[in-house]
Structure 1
Amino acid sequence: MTDVSQLKDSYPHVIVGGGEAADAAVRAILDAAPETEVLVVNGSQHPPVGRPALSKTLWMDPDKELTDVYLGTERTGATVVNDAHATALDPERHTVTVEGREISYGRLLLATGSRARRLPDQPESPRVLTLRETEDFVALRPLISEGTEVAVVGGGYIGSELAAGLSNVGARVTLCFPDEKLLAHMLPDSIATHVSEVYGGKGITLESGFRAGSVDVADPERPTVVAEDGRKVIADVVVLALGADPAVELAEDAGLATAEGGVRVDATMATSAVDVWAAGDIAAFPDALFGRRRVEHVVNAGGTGKTAGANMAGAHTEYTDTPMFFSDLFDDGYEAVGLLDTGLETREFWNDDHTAAVIYYLDGHEVRGVLNWNTWDSVGTALETIADSQAGKIGPADLEGRITPGA
């Protein structure tokens, strides 16, 4: 791998970040301009990796190793420098500072992603971890074996996936989450009840209504998670899955415009600074259906990264997608678009044996989100339904039959 000391003083294209968005951008740039030079500043000690595998594939598939989920960015012809951090960006001078070294760029992409949230005054302990970066997985995996007691704190996207994965490799998992039922903030009661039953049936202990306040490491081998109501969960390992915050400090310090907690971009992924683009978790982009927003999911990372890279190479293409997201929860799975919020009205349509459903989330007469539960390859129709609803072409009475559950 390239060392910082080996870098040139100037590159036509510089990408800050080492995730899915960065990899997609590299490939788009080099597809359009194979002879150009691209520098990737990757903050991880490890090569760019497909992050979803850290909470899914590497736990569910015993034949998969970490090296199997590397993205291969370094094999594209780009110069990838690992364990390197950009600490300053000067858009006027077209320079970025990497590990104390100032490098000039022609065009630059910010794909800095997000960082895992921590509890206030969270203690440092090798047995109290998050799971966001490759380093987190590398630290966690050796601690897990048959019978290891693990407390997963947080019942959202990563927490629910990781609990399933840890259980699959034989860990004894306690899943602590704030809702009454697992994923009840986004799944209607019919599905949340089913998911909770499935997880319980897999031997996972569910601690509902649990809002973590602190972690006690007085016993360094057996950390204790303490809830705001005083409940305690003691385990061999604690994994905090409390969500993530976009890493926007570099952009903010450089004076770039921000929105929705991220970096404001137009449809081409261009920021307010000349020759600077942003993609992935940090990009607050104009969604044609839902307005300006950020989306933290691999599908959006790939799409925005590809768009940014193409435009850095001289194209003028726009990101017009409303990105979908998906997850697998043991034998169940879903694909979804829009806002899944059970504070909205929901309409449910099930197949005959009640194993698959299409759920619409409505604000008044307008569809704001669609969940295809065990229902596949219907995201396009879901997007059309949202668009037709916004345009007033259909109402709630017209939803049945738009998508066939289980198809």
Structure 2
Amino acid sequence: MKNTTIIAATFIVGIIIIASIYGVYSLYSPTSSSSSTSNPTVNPTASPTATESPTSTATIKPTTKPTTSSNTQTSSTSSTPTPTPAPTEVTVTDGAGNTMTIPLPVTRIAALDGGIAEILCAMGCRDLIVGRTDSCTMPPSILSVKSYGENDYAPNVEALITLDPDVIFASSMLPYNPTAYQQLKNAGIPVYIIDTTTPEPTNPSKLTKDELYALSPPIDFTCGLMQNFTKIVGHQTEVDSYVKWAQNYNKIVKDRIYALTPSQQVKTYLEWYGYGRTFVTASVYQAGGINIAENQTVYSPTLSTEFIVEQNPSAIIVLIASPSHNINDFIAARNDVLNRTSLQNVDAVKYGRVYVCDFYARSGVRCVIGYLYWAKWLQPSLFSDIDPAIVNQELNQKFFGTAIAGTFAYP
């Protein structure tokens, strides 16, 4: 019992440390969509009917100049509409269910999570960010903003209170440090938590194709979060542009995965922060796989070696944190799995189907990139025409106006 307690405690601390880098929200897919998603079956639509071009109408020119009557009113009195005053505050409910009132306009933001900071920059709000944490490293322009702590689990509370931003954005890792969370709220600063603090395990194995298609992947979460942010910081045009771009790739993946039969889905072991540690998420199914942990009753269980070997996954996806996005971090993580003696008879290791993904590619604006990588890894024949690395550079140019070096997935 004592050993079990120590293992559990170590695991919890590990989860907090690694998840706090990018936020728990990057690891799960909400089960309800923030926007309606159509079934992939395309119904024919009526072709637009041709209309006649407008024809010119002859105008009869008066032969005499009209006379002005002395009784004709030569000027009219029109009232100028009173402009609607700009709102001075907005009341919103965050992802953790907390309702708060935020003064407007917002001109000073503290972003404590890397994914959040990148979302705000993609929205055109980089100049509004006056504080970040060490975990906020993308895009590179954010590095010029002063850091106020290690991450949103361990922020520098006193310095943030002195900074006095209009609003603080953080992931669900901040409430896991209740002292820091409460101190910031007690200082009168609105603290917006973007995601739930109690994620639930999701097992879509018994869903129909249509039910699986309707599940919201991380792309839907990011798009919905950005729409919520517009109520606070505006920039609706930028958000509309991102949503249109991201949902295009979202539909491509969903439509192609929809055609798979259960026998074509790839049995997958998803690992994060150490051997056996996984989480129960629908994202594996949405990329064309089957999660070997689907029947676990907690969101982030630890699987035994015997269980993993018995399940014999055909693919292994390892999630890592690489703030510098150095390819050597990915190579080392992959080799660690390939060299595990206990897994030498597992198909994923025997056939080299071990893949490594950065948390950054599963959260925020880059969730599109992770989604495409997972789908291409698990169903390569369905996505041979898509190169996620090229899509990543497309994202950089389109929403940050620059090329950004670094590795986000391997190989």
RCO (CA 8 Å, sep 6+): is it higher in 1 or 2? 2
Which TM-score applies when normalising by structure 2?
0.31
Which TM-score applies when normalising by structure 1?
0.32
Pick the structure with more helix per residue: 2
